[in-house]
Amino acid sequence: MNLLLLDSSELTADNRTTLSDRRAQHICQVLQAKTGTILNAGVLNGERGSAEVIHINSARTAVHLKFLPNLNNDTSLTPKPLQITVVMALPRPKVAKRLIAVCAECGIKELHFINSFRVEKSFWQSPLLSPHNIHQQLLLGLEQSKDTQLPTVSLHSRFKPFVEDRLNDIRKNKRCLLAHPYNADITLNERMHRGLTTDQTGHVIVIGPEGGFIPYEVELLRHNGCQSLAIGVRIYRVETVLPMLLALLSND
């Protein structure tokens, strides 16, 4: 935990709070904090600053803190978000759980899980995709990267309505790239030379399920503004493709 994230609802009028959850455990056991220790801190969807440890109970299970706002209003403290929206066929729930945290850590602010022919129906009923569990994974990613701005995660259990009715609004003036190794519209080298046109302000990347999108799905995505992109002859897992694409596209 590189940044202690506090919810505004946890703070009193004088910016004090008492923690007794996993954050308190981390402060006491991992950071070995004492009274007077100053921690990197931030308010969720708010400003960065620091937090002073006022008191730790004798059992070291509860920590009383005072949040100290950044009086200099130094916006450089908060990392900039990536101008990339991620659309991903829902993977196995345990994989999805990890990737939610990865997206938050990397600066993705909009993540959409969609259905596909090769997505198991049971995945959508997993408790790992409950709002609470998604929120917790987002917090872990933000804490790691010292970010305070919470991403949004949306679940779309019907493929065709999403592509035909939602994708265009999500895409707006971003370039939409479909990670697809077969008969791709463009290759990695071509993309590196072309870059963005003057009226584009980022990317939407679409990643398929294990086994890939079926031909019907690929054509529907292409028909609705996606260019298929091949990043090499190897076939990668979803958890490998995502960070690769974020690294390649974040410099555009």
**CATH no. for 84-249:** 3.40.1280.10
Q: Range(s) for CATH 2.40.240.20 in the chain?
A: 4-74
CATH class of 4-74: mainly beta
* CA distances for 131 relative to 66, 91, 97, 155, 176, angstroms: 29, 17, 12, 10, 27
Convert the pLDDT of each residue in 188-232 to its tens digit: 666 555 655 556 789 999 999 988 999 999 999 999 999 998 887
Where does residue 104 rank: exposed (0-12), middle (13-18), buried (19+ CB within 10 A)? buried
By the 8 A CB rule, do 162 and 115 touch? yes
Residue 77 has pLDDT above 80, yes or no: no
Q: Mean pLDDT across the stretch 127-144? A: 97
Q: What is the spatial distance between Cα 50 and Cα 20, in angstroms, rounded to a whole number?
A: 18
Q: 249, 45, 210, 65: which is closest to 138 by C-alpha?
A: 45
User: How do residues 24-35 score in pLDDT, each as one tens digit?
Assistant: 999 999 999 999
Residue percentage of the chain with pLDDT more than 70:
92
In contact, 107 and 80? CB cutoff 8 Å: yes
**Over residues 107-133, mean pLDDT:** 97
- The C-alpha angle with vertex 54 and arms to 49 and 57, in degrees rounded to 5, equals 130
- pLDDT surpassing 80 at residue 149: yes
Candidates 5, 97, 82; CA nearest to 46 is 5
Give the orientation angle of helix 93-106 with respect to helix 238-249, to 10 degrees.
20
Q: Where in the chain is the domain with CATH 3.40.1280.10?
A: 84-249
Q: What is the mean pLDDT of the chain?
A: 91
